[in-house]
């Protein structure tokens, strides 16, 4: 399994003055010890005056990653200390939940992220009085939140609703001490300039920014987001669990089965083939044998010897069973990760997809999309199931050669690389 390359960001250091060299030996020894300890600390410790950035994540792992990327970018551009969001379980209608919200450090390598933006696992002292500012962001043609929904979100973010309170009462109390900003972007370039400027003016503040893709719009923003994926690495425990299921020259096939577009009563396998949703031809149905034949041909052309199927809970059991039976007639099918918390299973399977010899994603799935672009930062090639069955449209979104292929783009753009 190839090793991932992490590009270090080397801060500039002022030259050591002669005065410092003349300090007593024991003072220098203590100073050196402090430097040694600081060097091994995974996260920076924020100063009390630094404002903190809190953010929330929504939906499945793909959407959660996009929100995390945007928060990292915003933290770097504004100087706010980012407190990584917890990992929520996806709310699946009609499906039982097997996980609660978990600390980010259980899933992400925060030490790698801290090379990009200031991070803190604990709430900095600027949050000692609780949340001070809430930014609710919408962009493009999106409408600003109605007052009723605004009250619910503010109350939820404040996190201190009393059992005897209504949501409205909780929100009224929260709004008496929280400054709420509803920010409507016309466009965004990896961080709306007006929003970035406003956040830079804050001092000793505890800030929450929430909103759909609050800094993800336009070509330049895409470059930022996909570049920052280089700094999003799984935690060591996730990688260790991945290695227990990983096989050399394996292929991972992702079946998303969009719950809004796919008819689970249909006899075929539902595959997304367009970016836009809601049109009559967003998805296409193929027979299990057609999909199996296309994937097996892809595997054999790439000398792949085993298959892992990462299927969402929306895939009908009978469809999954039919696919497994047909695949097993041609290729070795690896057992799925089991016995883990729902969220951890999702993260382990994502890590398997990133490190697989061949990855076949479900077109327009955010889960597959973040894997696809992460693999591009590693120089790995991926494919789409709709391509294999010759049904894809809108491929230009992923084949744009100007989009990021390696992390150097952001580092060069932001002048992060400095000579030692």
Q: CA 114, 56, 81, 106: dihedral to nearest 10 degrees? A: -40
Q: Give pLDDT, residue 380.
A: 87
Record: fold of 52-231: Rossmann fold (3.40.50)
- Interstrand relation of 133-139 and 81-83 (parallel, antiparallel or unpaired): unpaired
Q: Who wins on pLDDT, 51 or 95?
A: 51
Q: What is the 3-state secondary structure (H, E, C) of the chain?
A: CCCCCCCCCCCCCCCCCHHHHCCCHHHHHHHHHHHHHHHHCCCCCCCCCCCEEEECCCCCHHHHHHHHHHHHHHHHHHCCEEECCCECCCCCCCCCCCCCCECHHHCECHHHHCCCCCECCCCCHHHCCCCCEEEEEEECCCCCCCHHHHHHHHHHHHCCCCCCCCHHHHHHHHHCCCEEEEEEECCCCCCCHHHHHHHHCCCCCEEEEECCCCCCCCHHHHHHHHHHHHHCCECHHHHHHHHHHCCCCEEEEEECCCCCCCCCCCCCEEEECCCCCCCCCCEEEECHHHHHHHHHHHHHHCCCCEEEEEECCCCCHHHHHHHHHHHHCCCEECCCCCCCCHHHHHHHHHHHHHHCCEEEECCCCHHHHHHHHHHHHCCCCEEEHHHHCCCCCCCHHHHCCCCCCCCHHHHHHCCCCCCC
Residues 44-68: what's their mean pLDDT? 75
pLDDT tens digit sequence for 185-233: 765 545 677 888 899 999 899 998 876 554 455 566 666 777 788 888 9
pTM score, two decimals?
0.78
For 334, the token pair is 């690896």
Residue 28: pLDDT over 80: no
Listed by start position, the domains of the chain span 52-231, 236-399
pLDDT class of 30 with cuts at 50, 70, 90: very low
Q: Tell me, yes or no, if the two domains 52-231 and 236-399 fold the same way.
A: yes
Q: Give pLDDT, residue 147.
A: 66
Burial class of residue 272, CB neighbours in 10 A (0-12, 13-18, 19+): buried
- Whether residue 258 contacts residue 367, with contact meaning beta carbons closer than 8 Å, is answered with no
Q: Which residue has the tokens 């002048």?
A: 415
Residue 46: pLDDT over 60: no
83-118: string of b/e by CB count within 10 Å (b at 16+)?
A: bbbbbbbbeeeeeeeebeebebbebbbbbbbbbbbb
Residues 249-263: what's their mean pLDDT? 92
Q: Who wins on pLDDT, 126 or 148?
A: 126
Least confident of 18-27, 33-42, 82-91, 307-316: 33-42
pLDDT tens digit sequence for 287-346: 999 999 999 999 999 999 999 999 999 999 999 999 999 999 999 999 999 888 888 999
Least confident of 31-45, 49-63, 249-263: 31-45
List the end-to-end C-alpha distance of the chain, in Å, as a whole number: 30
Alpha-carbon span 379 to 373, nearest angstrom: 10
CATH code of 236-399, in short, is 3.40.50.11350
């Amino acid at each position: 399994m190839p090793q991932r390359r992490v590009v270090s960001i080397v801060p500039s250091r002022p030259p050591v003055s002669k005065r410092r060299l003349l300090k007593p030996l024991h003072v220098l020894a203590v100073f050196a010890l402090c430097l040694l300890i600081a060097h091994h600390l995974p996260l920076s410790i924020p100063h009390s005056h630094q404002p903190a950035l809190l953010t929330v994540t929504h939906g499945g792992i793909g959407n959660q990653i996009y929100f995390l990327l945007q928060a990292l970018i915003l933290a770097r551009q504004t100087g706010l200390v980012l407190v990584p969001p917890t990992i929520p379980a996806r709310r699946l209608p009609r499906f039982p939940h097997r996980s609660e919200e978990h600390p980010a450090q259980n899933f992400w390598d925060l030490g790698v992220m801290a090379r990009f933006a200031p991070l803190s696992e604990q709430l900095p002292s600027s949050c000692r009085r609780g949340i001070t500012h809430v930014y609710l962001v919408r962009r493009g043609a999106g409408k600003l939140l109605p007052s009723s929904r605004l009250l619910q979100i503010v109350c939820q973010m404040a996190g201190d609703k009393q059992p005897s309170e209504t949501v409205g009462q909780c929100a009224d109390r929260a709004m008496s001490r929280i400054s709420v900003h509803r920010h409507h972007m016309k466009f965004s370039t990896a961080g709306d300039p007006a929003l970035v400027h406003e956040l830079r003016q804050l001092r000793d503040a505890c800030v929450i920014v929430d909103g759909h893709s609050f800094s993800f719009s336009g070509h330049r923003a895409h470059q930022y987001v996909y570049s920052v994926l280089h700094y999003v690495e799984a935690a060591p425990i996730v990688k260790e669990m991945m290695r227990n299921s990983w096989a050399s020259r394996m292929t991972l096939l992702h079946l998303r089965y969009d719950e809004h577009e796919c008819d689970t009563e249909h006899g075929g396998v539902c595959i997304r083939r367009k970016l836009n949703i809601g049109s009559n031809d967003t998805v296409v149905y193929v027979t299990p044998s057609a999909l199996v034949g296309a994937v097996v041909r892809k595997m054999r052309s790439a000398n792949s010897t085993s298959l892992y199927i990462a299927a969402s809970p929306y895939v009908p059991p009978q469809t999954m069973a039919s696919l497994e039976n047909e695949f097993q007639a041609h290729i070795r099918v690896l057992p799925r990760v089991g016995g883990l918390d729902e969220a951890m299973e999702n993260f382990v399977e994502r890590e398997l997809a990133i490190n697989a010899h061949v990855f076949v994603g479900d077109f327009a799935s955010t889960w597959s999309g973040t894997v696809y672009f992460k693999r591009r930062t590693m120089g790995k090639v991926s494919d789409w199931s709709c391509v294999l069955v010759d049904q894809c449209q809108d491929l230009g979104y992923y084949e744009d050669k100007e989009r990021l292929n390696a992390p150097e783009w952001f580092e060069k753009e932001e002048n992060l690389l400095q000579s030692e």
